[in-house]
Amino acid sequence: MRRLLACLMLCASPLPFGAGLAIAAEDTVEIGHVNTAITNLGLTRSHRVVVERFTDPEVRGVSCYISQARTGGLSGMLGVAEDPARFALTCTATGPVEVQPGARRGERGEVVFESSTSLFFKETRVHRFLDTDRNAVVYLAWSTRLIDGSPFNAVAVVPVR
C-alpha cells in the first residue's frame, strides 16, 4: 500500500524525481554519465554515475562539478528508488573569482546546490563558506542521510586572487 501511495504521489508531482534540483545555483547542467550496471537486461535505465556542473550565484568565476550515483531499474525510472549517499565534489576558478557583497558570511555558510536523492527526506547539499583569513571560498557537499552517526561529505576549495 505504501508503494502504491508513493507512486501516486510521484505521478502527481510536476517535477521528475532524480533530476538535480538546484537551489540558489544559477544553472545546473548534466555534463555526462557512465552506466555502472545494466538492469533488467537493458530494458530499464541502468545504474549510473552522473556528473553535473553548477555555478554559485554569489561567487563569480567559479564552477563546481558534482558526481553522484543514481539508481536504475524500474524503481529508478519511476523515481521511487533511493540513490546511494555517495558523491564527489570539485570546484575550480573559471575566471576572475569575485565574491559578491550579498554572499552570506558566518560559520553556517549558505546552501548553493541541492539534489534530491530519495522520494522522501534524503538530499545532497552543497554549502559555501568564506575563509576570509586565507582568502578562499570553501564548498562542502554532504548527505542529509546519517551513515554510522555521520553524513557522507566532501570538500573543495577555490582561492580568491
pLDDT at 141 over 80: yes
pLDDT at 22 over 60: no
| 68 in Cβ contact with 50 (< 8 Å) | yes
- Residue 12's pLDDT band, with cuts at 50, 70 and 90, is very low
Other Cβ atoms less than 10 A from the Cβ of 98: the count is 12
Q: How far is CA 137 from CA 87, 103, 104, 159, in A?
A: 20, 11, 12, 6
What is the pLDDT, as a whole number, of residue 47?
Answer: 79
Provide the residue ranges of all domains of the chain, joining segments of one domain with +: 2-159
| 159 in Cβ contact with 93 (< 8 Å) | yes
Between these two residues, 31 and 85, which has the higher pLDDT value?
31
Q: In what order do the strands lie in the sheet with 47-55?
A: 28-37, 47-55, 59-70, 87-99
pLDDT at 5 over 60: no
Q: pTM above 0.85?
A: no
- Reference 128, options 45, 57, 26; nearest CA is 57
- Residue 131's pLDDT band, with cuts at 50, 70 and 90, is very high
Between these two residues, 44 and 114, which has the higher pLDDT value?
114
44 phi and psi angles, rounded to 5 deg = -125, 170
What is the pLDDT, as a whole number, of residue 31?
Answer: 94
